[in-house]
Structure 1
């Protein structure tokens, strides 16, 4: 169906718009689309009226087999009215009912009809407004929903950011803890490695030399060791005139026994007192740590930092290392003092050998205690009233100063008993009784050989001791293994017998302790055989010409191994022609 309107005035335009609105409503065009169509048509008609002339409005409805159709509206200029510069306008709207029930007659000009048309337009406007309100509510709902979503996203972002910060802080704390643990492990490893170095030597000069090597350049740029001696008392008001100048902080550390830190800024080191910068080194900090012992300070260790200042934990480690160094130096000094005493005692006990006519003597003594040159083995040689020469080699159980003291007592007792005369067996019997009553828990072994002045005869006796070895002038070697007595000091009453051996000029007798021949893995017999072989290896005149050198040549092959753990004593007696 097609309808046409001629439009030349405002009234024509209003009537046409009212008719189009009614037909669109009857064709089932939705309210919003109908309002959009009416508004577009009104605007176009307003433009046409502004241009002037006559216009033709055509409305065409068409349907399809499915019952749906379209409403086509076109506005063109009337023929002969200058259509060349007036472009047509057309619009197509879908409609569910393409065949309206009425014929779409134009509205009359009475007020009632126009009012009805106006109210109908208002109804369409109201419908559009309702749709608009509904859309606004929907937009507001979605806006609120979007706002809530944004708030949730912002909250999630905040939580993620907080979680990220917490994770970063946890990672940073873990790194700090790992670094601190690694630093602590490094310091403990340094202390563990440094302690054996400091205690490896019993020479305090060696310890003083090694300490700077441990600290420079890792923990200190420079190290100064101030050790007190008899003339350098830290409690004096003024230093000794001959002493080198020391920082005031070092003097204070020596007097108070507390570490001191001298610098132009506070050190913040635990357990350390802050002092003004030293006049001797005003441009660098100094850490002065006393070398403390159980008795009194030994000195002061003065350090300068490898950088600007020390880490507090490094300072604690340095104080602990200095404490250990002080103990090591004190132990070394006490050991050196005891060693000097022991060596003096040893020299006093191991007297010079006599030089009787026709007989040469050579002795060697090597203690088992490393560093402390004293032990329980001893040798001695002296004359009796009748001119006989007594030679003895003994071995007190144990090592060190206690064994040496007991050895000295036995040596003194033997000399006292020998004044009254008597053979070697009788002397050993009296020593056995003496030791059993003096020290019931201490034992000893000994061998005594007596050279007669008027005849080439050797009388000897042994008590639990390795047998003497005799080299004959022709180079043959014999072991004097006659039955010996039991060990001296055991709870057993015994009478030790003498044994006699005739000597020829050029003979050599070797008395020794078990430390020369006995080894744990091989026993004592192979060692005696090695001694006999060494003694028999000399030429006919070598022993008589250089008995001292011969003693060294005997010891060298027998002590070349590293298994020796006992004192060694050797006494050679060579009978001249």
Structure 2
């Protein structure tokens, strides 16, 4: 909850003690945190010792802002004894912990943390501290309670968590890797609940380690009831981003306060978990979900030190999931924009056309591939295939600009393809954002009864022409520099007759390129497949080429435009 700056008169009550106000503690530096660890009150003495104004402290996470190691390094939550005192809900005290002051210097403090009530029914903790003039190690100084893992193994696990979870930009893969990291190392059961973009909750993973393998309990996964803001049950609190908790079946023996608490009680009954940790999964801006780790077969219960470790793991998972969701949103935006820009193919008497667009399988690999077809002012049909360099939203935006300019220039005057593309190249160089692209612009025309293709190629892969008898050849003529280089380009036009029954294919590199094979191998494969399909319906040819030619290890998008002269 938010507390106005300077509200040192806020009423608080220590557990079992009289009501008091922060201004009553004039000799001790004091601040108050809510159940999420955010500072909600501070007295003048603490402002003075920390060299920080209340306005810079209120609402901030006390651990992230203040708690440091002895050399000023950021302190992992799993090693912070003051953080452990907060989540344990017990009164604890200690010596020679370090806080960072407003000027970046460190101050060694002795401290005490005790639970308190905030306002009407709110829970938090009161932190009192004073500086140590001679920092020395104090006998009996509290340290994190015993953990099921040695310290070096804990640090290694956190390092592996960071490296593993940041290697993927796919939400499902990140969840799978998270479960793999903690089950069975820390728990027999791993449960992940994620908040959906629509505001609901989905239980996306329930995994049990049995007989040496991780088994997904699909029957326990699926949509979850909504999270009531007033619920005090551990899962509801975690999904709201408040303090993590050590939980057991006893926490769900009373009357549940919500439907989601009923589902959680059923989870404990079904799994037989006798000890569990429930921690929020926090992203950069908001809570992403919650992680529940449970023990049913192993006898040891989770400790508060284990809880801090799981909290650290969940924070790393939250950042990874946040990034994955961001990339998925970016992909949806770019893909929607691309699909809206891709045209409805015109009906041209005497010509059949079909097109396909396939987005990249990786959410991060949004490209700038496009196709276009339109009737020109002189009755000819314009064909375009292009690819803006890059695999991100900028590439998709660049594609939209290049596509629209080409349409405008081609429809303005009746000029050869090479002159249209030269004019387009001049415009691309002047674009505010540096853009490079490959493109083929072609005219399909019937000047004297026979159909003819006239085209120019700005750095793109050559069109493929397959005759009625299956003979295939790549149209390598008319090739020149790609768009956006800023170099002078002497572009040429090329022409070829389109015989009845022949199929023309324009495509982007996502159809044939593969990290494991050469470009020539991909072109040869395309020619073989297309030759064997020439007598199929045009749409079936496109589908078969996507299924049979596109390499499985290609993470690029694909645009394809096919044309047939019926015979």
Q: TM-score, length-normalised on structure 2?
A: 0.57
Match among 441, 446, 451 for residue 448 of structure 1 = 441
Contact 1:369–1:399 under 8 Å retained in 2: no
Match among 538, 544, 550 for residue 547 of structure 1 = 538
- Rate the CA distance shift 1:331–1:534 in 2: closer, same or farther, 3 A: same
Distance 1:417 1:561 in 2: 37
SS in 2 for 1:473: coil
The residue number in structure 2 matching 1:184 is 151
Confirm whether residue 575 of structure 1 aligns to residue 565 of structure 2.
Answer: yes
The residue number in structure 2 matching 1:436 is 429
How many Å apart are 1:373 and its aligned residue? 6.3
How many Å apart are 1:413 and its aligned residue? 0.7
How many Å apart are 1:324 and its aligned residue? 1.8
Confirm whether residue 411 of structure 1 aligns to residue 403 of structure 2.
Answer: yes
Equivalent residue runs for 1:178-257 within 5 Å: 183-191=150-158, 198=165, 202-204=169-171, 207=174, 215=182, 219-220=186-187, 225-229=192-196, 230-231=198-199, 243=227, 247-253=232-238, 257=242
SS in 2 for 1:324: helix
- Rate the CA distance shift 1:438–1:363 in 2: closer, same or farther, 3 A: same
- Rate the CA distance shift 1:438–1:261 in 2: closer, same or farther, 3 A: same
Distance 1:554 1:241 in 2: 45
Confirm whether residue 502 of structure 1 aligns to residue 527 of structure 2.
Answer: no
Distance 2:178 2:483 in 1: 49
Match among 372, 384, 387 for residue 392 of structure 1 = 384
SS in 2 for 1:493: coil
Q: TM-score, length-normalised on structure 1?
A: 0.56
How many Å apart are 1:488 and its aligned residue? 1.4
The structure with the larger Rg is 1
Equivalent residue runs for 1:72-471 within 5 Å: 183-191=150-158, 198=165, 202-204=169-171, 207=174, 215=182, 219-220=186-187, 225-229=192-196, 230-231=198-199, 243=227, 247-253=232-238, 257-261=242-246, 280=256, 287-303=277-293, 307=299, 309-367=301-359, 370-372=362-364, 374-422=366-414, 423-438=416-431, 441-453=434-446, 455=449, 456-471=451-466
How many Å apart are 1:258 and its aligned residue? 2.9
Confirm whether residue 532 of structure 1 aligns to residue 499 of structure 2.
Answer: no
The residue number in structure 2 matching 1:124 is none
Compute the RMSD of aligned alpha carbons: 4.0
Contact 1:368–1:399 under 8 Å retained in 2: no
Contact 1:387–1:453 under 8 Å retained in 2: no
How many Å apart are 1:343 and its aligned residue? 2.2
The residue number in structure 1 matching 2:550 is 559
- Rate the CA distance shift 1:561–1:341 in 2: closer, same or farther, 3 A: closer
- Rate the CA distance shift 1:309–1:473 in 2: closer, same or farther, 3 A: closer
Distance 2:516 2:226 in 1: 58
- Rate the CA distance shift 1:217–1:182 in 2: closer, same or farther, 3 A: closer
Confirm whether residue 472 of structure 1 aligns to residue 467 of structure 2.
Answer: yes
How many Å apart are 1:305 and its aligned residue? 5.5
Contact 1:263–1:277 under 8 Å retained in 2: no
Contact 1:199–1:328 under 8 Å retained in 2: yes
SS in 2 for 1:381: strand
How many Å apart are 1:203 and its aligned residue? 4.7
How many Å apart are 1:390 and its aligned residue? 0.7
- Rate the CA distance shift 1:566–1:334 in 2: closer, same or farther, 3 A: closer
Distance 1:527 1:231 in 2: 45
Contact 1:247–1:279 under 8 Å retained in 2: no
- Rate the CA distance shift 1:231–1:549 in 2: closer, same or farther, 3 A: closer
How many Å apart are 1:383 and its aligned residue? 1.1
- Rate the CA distance shift 1:312–1:506 in 2: closer, same or farther, 3 A: same
Count of residue pairs the alignment pairs up:
379
How many Å apart are 1:192 and its aligned residue? 5.0
How many Å apart are 1:210 and its aligned residue? 6.5
- The superposition leaves residues 466-492 of structure 1 with CA deviations (integer Å, 9 ceiling, x where unpaired) of 322222334333332224232212222
The gaps in structure 1 that reach 5 residues or longer are: 1-178, 234-239, 266-274
SS in 2 for 1:496: coil
Contact 1:225–1:301 under 8 Å retained in 2: yes
How many Å apart are 1:358 and its aligned residue? 1.8
Contact 1:259–1:288 under 8 Å retained in 2: yes
Contact 2:147–2:303 under 8 Å retained in 1: no
Match among 478, 483, 487 for residue 488 of structure 1 = 483
How many Å apart are 1:425 and its aligned residue? 1.6
Contact 1:375–1:567 under 8 Å retained in 2: yes
- The superposition leaves residues 181-202 of structure 1 with CA deviations (integer Å, 9 ceiling, x where unpaired) of 9723443454455556655664
Distance 1:433 1:383 in 2: 24
